[in-house]
Structure 1
Amino acid sequence: MQHHTGLFIPGPTNIPDPVRRAMNLPMEDMRAPDFPELTLPLFRDLKRVFKTETGQAFIYPASGTGGWEAVLTNTLNPGDKVLIATFGQFSLLWADMCRRLGFDTVVVDRPWGEGVPVEAFADILARDGTHRIRAVLATHNETATGVTSDIAGLRRALDAAGHPALLYVDGVSSVASIDLRMDEWGLDAVVSGSQKGFMLPTGLAIVAVSQKALEAHRSSKFPRCFFSFEDMMRTNKDGYFPYTPATTLLRGLRASLDLLFAEGLENVFTRHHHLAEGVRRAVTAWGLTLCAREPKWHSDTVSAIVVPEGVDSTQVARQAYHRYGVSFGIGLNKVAGRVFRIGHLGALNEPMLLGALGAAEMALADCGARIAFGSGVAAAQSHYASRSNLTAAAA
C-alpha cells in the first residue's frame, strides 16, 4: 500500500494543506499590474514575524545559505574582521563561508552540544578597543545538535562592551518556531529559509535587516549581483523583483503567514515548546540523552538524540525509514553515527509526534538498543495530556 513517509526531520517540514493548495495554481505574470497586491503585504507581514518595525525584509529565490551570503556581501568589505562561534554543522558552514569570502574570521570553537559562548564573546569584544571586529555572527538554533543559543544575552554583551559591531543571526531553524525579537534584541540581520518554520518547500531565503545594516550597505564595496540589496530595494518598493521570483512559493508564503497569524505567534512558540518537551521526556524515559549538554541549550525545534554505545545512529534512521516509513535526521559531521534527530517544528501536533516516537522505539530496538516498548511514548503522552488545552495548529 502506498503511503506518505512520516516526515520528522528538521526541514524541509510538513506542508499544511492550505499552503499546498495555495501553490497549486497556473503560472502568473510577475510583472502584472496587480502583482504588488500579493508582494507588498508579504514584505509588511514578514516584519511581524521577525518582530521588527524599522527593519526591511528581503525574499530571495535561494536557500538559507544564500541568505547568509546576501547579508555578508551587502554590508561588509573584503578583509573585514568577523567573530563567529562554531558548535555544529551549520555554524561551521557559516564560518567556512566567511573564510572563503575573504573575511578575517575569528572563530571560537565550542563542543558540539553547547551554543554561542556569550562570556567568551564578551571578553573578546571588551578587548577589541579599536573596534576592528565589524560583525558578530551567531547561529540561533544549531540544527545539527539541537542547541538554541542566548541571542538576547549576546546583545547585552555587545552593549556592555560598548561595541558597535553589527549583530547577524542565523535563524533558519528558529524563525516562526522559536521566539526571536529583532528590534528588542538589537539584531542587524536575521536569515531564515522557507522550508522550516514557514512550512514551505525549499527555495526562499527570507532575510530581515536593520537600518544600521542598510547604512553599512552604503559603504560596502563587496562585489555582488544576484544578492544585491540595491537591486532588490529599487524594485521591491513597488512590489516587484529584479529578476523572476518564485511566484508559487510567494503564494504559499501568503497562506503560511495567514496560518501563523491565525494561531498567533506566541501560541506558535508555546506549541513548539510543548511538543519538544514531550520528545525530551521520551528520551529520558528511554534512558538516553540529548546532544545538547544542558537544559539551557535545549532546542524547541529539533532534538538530537545520542544513541547507546555500540548502536549506529545512521542505521537507526535507515531502519526507521525502510521498515516503518518514518524519516528522522541523521547525525552530521562530528556526530555522524552518534545521534539521530527528531524534528518537531512546523505543522505538527501531539499524535503525529507520538507516532514518530513509537517508530523511533522500534528502530532503536531493531538496531540493538535496549528500549522498553512504550516507555517514551507513555512519557510523552503523560506530558501532552497534562497540557491538553493547547491548540494544535497542524492542518
Structure 2
Amino acid sequence: MRISYEWLKTMVDLPDDPQTLVKEFVRTGTEVQGVERVGADLKNVVTGQIVSKVPHPNSDHMWLCKVSVGSKSVDADGKPVPLQIVCGAQNFNAGDKIVVAMEGAELPGGVKIKKSKLRGIDSCGMNCSERELGLGSDHSGIMILPADAPVGVDFPEYMGLSDTVFDCEMTPNRPDCLSMVGVATEVSAIFDEDTHIELPRIKHERLLEPTARLVDVRIDAPEMCSRYTARVVRHVKIGPSPEWLARRVRAAGARPINNVVDVTNYVMYLTGQPLHAFDLGKLSVRDGKRHIVVRAAKAGEELVTLDGKQRMLTPDMAVISDDGKTPVCLAGVMGGANSEIDEGTCDVLLEAACFDAAHISRTSRDLDLMSEASIRYERQVDAASCDEVSAIAAALFEECCGAEVCAGMV
C-alpha cells in the first residue's frame, strides 16, 4: 500500500517530519518497505510547449522539436527562445504542453541532463515521461499536460509535487488499511488526533431517468457474489483528470488514464472498495433496459481483459455478463475490453460489489493476473459500504467529468 503523506495530512494532523510516522508505523507493527521523496528535488524541470515537430534527418523514429519554456530560455535581449530538443517519443504533437528537463537538471535515479548530440543534431534538454520524473511507471511516451497548463513554470511548483510516499506492507488481517481512510483512522489512533475526512457528495441527482428504469441486476451465483450494485451516470465528458486527481492516482502507484477511470481508481484507493466503470452504450438493450447478470463462467469461455490478453475461463471464476450472455468483466479482477471506457463514452454504468474472497484469490492465481481490485477482494471488503462508495464516485463524476447522475441505484 502506497501512502502519500500530503494526502494523509488532509485527513489527520501529522508531524512535520514524515520520519516520525515511519517510526510509529514500525513500532505498531506496520512494515515500511520504502520511503520515496517525490518532486522536491526536480530543479531545472519546467512546463513547456511543443512549438514545432519535424522528423530527425538522420533517424527513422526520432523527432527534432522546438520547445518553448517561456522566460526560462531567453536571448541576449531577454526575449524567449525555444529550446531545440531531439525526442524519440511518438505520442505528442505541435501545441502539446509537456514537461521539459533543461540543461543542469538531475532526474530521479541520478540522470543528469546536459547538452548533447543525438544522431549528429544538438539536443538542449529532454522531454520527460512519468517514469523519468519519478511519478509512475509509465514510459510509453512523454507526459502530456492539460491544454491550460502554463508555460515556463517550475514543474514541482505547478504540480504541488513535494510529497513523501511510504510503501507499506499491510498484514492480511488489516484489509481496512488498504485505503487512505483506513490508514488515516489508524494514524489518528497512533497520534491521538481526530480525523477530518471530507467526502464528496452528489450535488444534483437527476430525476429524469432513475437508474432502475435503465438497468436491472441479477445474481445467479450468490456463492461468488454476495452483493452487486449498479448506478448510471449520463453525459460524461472524457478527458484528462484534474491535476489534483491525477497526482493522487500517481502517488498511489497507478497511471492516470482518463477522468472516468481515474475517479474509480481514486475512490478505491480512498475507501478500499474496488469499483468498475462500464461503457453503458456497449451493453445490449432488451425491453428498454440493460441487464447485468453475475454468473459463473462457462467451461472454455473466453474474455479479452483490459490488458489486451485473451483469458480462458473456468466455472470457478465469476463473470459480469451482458444479459447473461457475453462476459464483459472478470469479476473482482479486471474489466473486459469489450465494455471499456474510451474517448467515445457518453454514459457510464458504475459497479460497486462484494465478491467472494476465495474465488477471487483462485481466479487471480490461476490466470496469473493480480490487480489492485483483486488484492482488496482477497482480503475481503465490506458489502455494506457499496452504496456510500458508489455515491462518492458519482459525486466525483459530476465534479471531474461534467456528468449527470441518474437517481438511485439497483
User: TM over 0.5: same fold?
Assistant: no
Structure with the higher strand share, 1 or 2: 2
TM-score between both structures, scaled by the size of structure 1: 0.27
Q: TM-score, normalised by structure 2?
A: 0.26
Structure with the larger RCO, 1 or 2 (CA within 8 Å, 6+ apart)? 1
